[in-house]
A and B are shown apart, each in its own frame.
Chain A
Amino acid sequence: MSLLELDGVHAYYGDSHILEGVDLSVEDGEVVALVGRNGVGKTTTLRSILQLTPPREGEIRFREASLVGLETHEVAQQGVGWIPEDRRIFSQLTVEENLRAAIPGSDGVSDGLALAFDSFPILEERRRQEAGTLSGGQQQMLAIARGLVGENDLLLVDEPSEGLAPQIVADVAEALSEASEDATMLLVEQNLPLALDLADRFYIVDNGRVVDTGDADAVSADDERFRRYLSA
């Protein structure tokens, strides 16, 4: 069975119908990318999994158990991590406190910190610094590290390369591909080369629905099919 399954998910913001029946599934160990233009419902798909934007219709199953109706923290406690758009690090907390807030229970703190600092040595150098003073790239590292230390089986990663300089994007890509060795990932990414680099499989989202799917090889071979949905 799939690790994560979405079945006919509908979600709204106020009166606007954003997701109009999203179907997708993510297998254990995979990296799956959601691609599509701005505003078609990619971020909302991630938010609906986390119950931040609870679906009004449809089913979301994680390890075969429904997530619909749970509180967000309960979803997170089942092993779903979120590396959100705009990073959303706690800017007034130190780097270390940001990580501590993400580590479940107090027993795993030293292991968790070790894991994070191992993957991102720069964070160890800055551990006592307020996270708001980090550079954009470092903040993204912190956001990824926060996802890693949470003992998550599934990471929902939203636009990790947005707003970063190209050489930093490469670092982020490397960090994510390392992370993907331990965790399953559902990735939203506009940067197609980066998405191709990381993902095993693609879903193309348009107007609140999944309109196409394919594996990474298929996408590279048949760019036109995808570009249609990516150009503005």
Chain B
Amino acid sequence: MAGLDWPTDYLRAHVPHLAIVSLLALYPSIYHLLANSLGLYEAEILLPGVETMTAVLYFGLFAMSFDFISGYTGYLSFGHAAFYGTGAYTVILVANGAVPLLGPGTPFVVSLLVAGLLAVLLALVVGLVSFRLSGVYFAMITLGFAQVLYVFIRGWDYVARNPRDGPSVGPTHSEGFQLGVPGVDQLNVAIGVLTGDEVTMLGHTLGGTAVSYYAIGAVVLLCYFAMQRIIHSPFGRVMIAIRENEERAVAIGYDTYRYKLAAFAVSGFFAAIAGGLFAGFRRSASPENSFYFLTTGDALLASIIGGFGTLAGPLFGRLFDETVREFLSKSGQGGGLLPYLRAGLGEETLSTPVVGNTSLGTLIDTLLNGHASLYIGIVFVLFVLYVPDGLLGTVRQRVGGKLAHVSAVRFGDGSTANATTDDATGEEE
């Protein structure tokens, strides 16, 4: 495979990366320019705000970590939320001085790493038991473990005064969480909507949210490249071999159990980092938005829409998800469909009855606002049916990358799986 002109290949392979990263880096400025300076109302409606984009980044990292294990080894980690929750709770509990040996003054980066290591331990414990199973059973046992933790954390009053609502960062850590190189003040910025640092550069002042966006984005990028390196290493090829045909991988001589366990630990680590970033930015977490199985569901959604087994795809899937949600958000503050219609059509048009006594405004309110889940669900179902490779997978296939081949093989295998197993002994070879 390694051609003679690998430097060119390497660069060509990274052109999309460069393009996407630059686009994401310029996003706050573009958004600011379009929405505020030029006052393009449409831009504000359609484009997610910078705060939402920050959420896209950390949750996208979580979805990528989910894809890392589920999309690449084929083992659906339905309890992945447990790692995300571990990350989020660890960060908050450390900040509140509730974790032994780690005071509230522990640098954020350190507590992120601690959270990641805790998740690795958890992944090893869960994985040791769960990887003896496969298919639906694997999905269910990981779901079972995660739900045990969810119920436990929801009832454990050590973590928060009201554990059902979850913990938030208390007065022992009123300042923002610092991202950067620990010990070097100049190389750190605080994150958070209200607690983030303002940074002035080249006469341009970035607010706390924008600074958080960049700081979190840098960590996510680092994590993405780390995972991407692993996928493209020999280790990653074994992961894919496990997905394509585990029996064959075993026959070649790989101890697949160890590979799966290691991959699971890695994905748990990055899930916890994502959870830690989420908690550091939001400064609170609840059992529902961290440990609950529907949090895994959201990662699954992002992975399928973005492209299962594409690593970067889930980030775009999450972007799609959040954009639609914000567009159809019920609150109607700033961006969103309803305020736009109100401004564009005027109250009079909106109150015109369309069906019976129901006015246009009410109709939009009942059918669209706050009901993003419906449309995302429909899109999701359509993707499962007709675009099984997701956004990024399909794009890569069109462009003709490596993945195209892999995924063609995968579906080829799937369609004949029943036939081959029955006859494997007699006729196949």
The chain A residues found within 8 Å of chain B, CB to CB, are 13-16, 18, 38-44, 47, 52-53, 85
Residues of B within 8 A of A85 (CB): 426
- Known contacts A39-B428, A39-B429: A14-B423 contact under CB 8 Å: no
- CB <8 Å contact, A15 and B427: no
Specify which of A14, A43, A47 is in contact with B412 (CB 8 Å cutoff). A14
In the assembled complex, how far is the CB of residue B205 from the closest CB belonging to chain A, in whole angstroms? 60
**In contact, A13 and B429 (Cβ under 8 angstroms):** no
Q: Would you give the shortest CB distance from A82 to chain B, in whole angstroms?
A: 12
**What's the Cα separation between A126 and B415 when bound, in Å?**
39
Q: A13-B416, A42-B427, A47-B419 are in contact. List 4 more A-B contacts (CB 8 A).
A: A14-B412, A18-B427, A52-B419, A53-B419
Given A13-B420, A14-B420, A52-B419: A39 and B427 within 8 A (CB)? yes
Residues from chain B with a CB closer than 8 A to the CB of A44 are 423, 427
Of all A-B residue pairs in the complex, the 8 with the closest CB atoms, nearest first, are A14-B416, A43-B427, A43-B426, A44-B427, A13-B420, A14-B412, A39-B429, A39-B427
For A47, list chain B residues within 8 Å (CB): 419, 423
Bound CA span A86–B428, Å: 16
Answer yes or no: B9 CB below 8 A from chain A CBs: no
**A100-B413 Cα distance, complex, nearest whole Å:** 35
Interface of A is mostly: loop
Which chain A residue has the least Cβ–Cβ distance from B423?
A43
B234 CB to closest chain A CB (Å) equals 24
Tell me how far the C-beta of B408 lies from the nearest C-beta in chain A, rounded to whole angstroms: 10
Give the distance in Å from the alpha carbon of A15 to the alpha carbon of B408 in the complex.
11
**In the docked arrangement, what's the CA distance between A85 and B424, Å?**
12
Q: List 18 A-B contacts (CB under 8 A).
A: A13-B419, A13-B420, A13-B423, A13-B428, A14-B412, A14-B415, A14-B416, A39-B428, A39-B429, A40-B427, A41-B427, A42-B426, A43-B426, A44-B423, A47-B423, A52-B419, A53-B419, A53-B423
Quote the shortest CB–CB distance from B243 to chain A (angstroms). 15
> Nearest-CB distance from B132 to chain A (Å)?
24
Docked complex Cα distance between A16 and B420 (Å): 10
Give Cα distance in the complex from A221 to B128, angstroms.
62
Closest-by-CB residue of B relative to A41 is: B427
Per-residue A-contact encoding for B56-71, CB less than 8 Å = 1, 0 else: 0000000000000000
CA A217 – CA B429 in complex, angstroms?
32
Whether B426 contacts A39 by the Cβ 8 Å rule is: yes
Task: With a 10 A CB-CB cut-off, give which of A14, A16, A38, A40 has the most chain B CB atoms.
Answer: A14
> Which B residue sits closest to A14, measured CB to CB?
B416
B393-429 Cβ-contact flags toward A at 8 Å (1 or 0): 0000000000000000000110110011001001111
B81 to chain A, nearest CB (A): 35
Q: Which residues of A contact B412 (CB under 8 A)?
A: 14-15
Residues on A with beta carbons closer than 8 Å to the beta carbon of B423: 13, 43-44, 47, 53
Contacts of A13 in B (CB 8 A): 416, 419-420, 423, 427-428
Contacts of A14 in B (CB 8 A): 412-413, 415-416, 420
Q: Min CB distance, B414 to chain A, in Å?
A: 10
Can you name the residue of chain A whose Cβ is closest to the Cβ of B429?
A: A39
Closest approach, in angstroms, between the C-beta of B426 and any C-beta of chain A?
A: 5
For window 272-305 of B, CB contacts with A under 8 Å fall at none
> CA of A84 to CA of B423 in the docked complex: distance in angstroms?
11
Query: Closest residue of chain B to A188, judged by CB?
Result: B426
Task: For residue A73, give the distance in angstroms from its CB to the closest CB of chain B.
Answer: 16
Q: Which residues of B contact A41 (CB under 8 A)?
A: 427
What residues of chain B lie closer than 8 Å to A40, measured between beta carbons? 427
Give every chain A residue within 8 A of B428 (Cβ-Cβ). 13, 16, 18, 39
Within the assembled complex, what's the spacing in Å between the Cα atoms of A14 and B427?
13
Complex Cα spacing A83 to B307, Å: 44
Rounded to whole angstroms, the CA-CA distance of A39 and B416 in the bound complex is: 17
CA distance A164 to B368 in the complex (A): 67
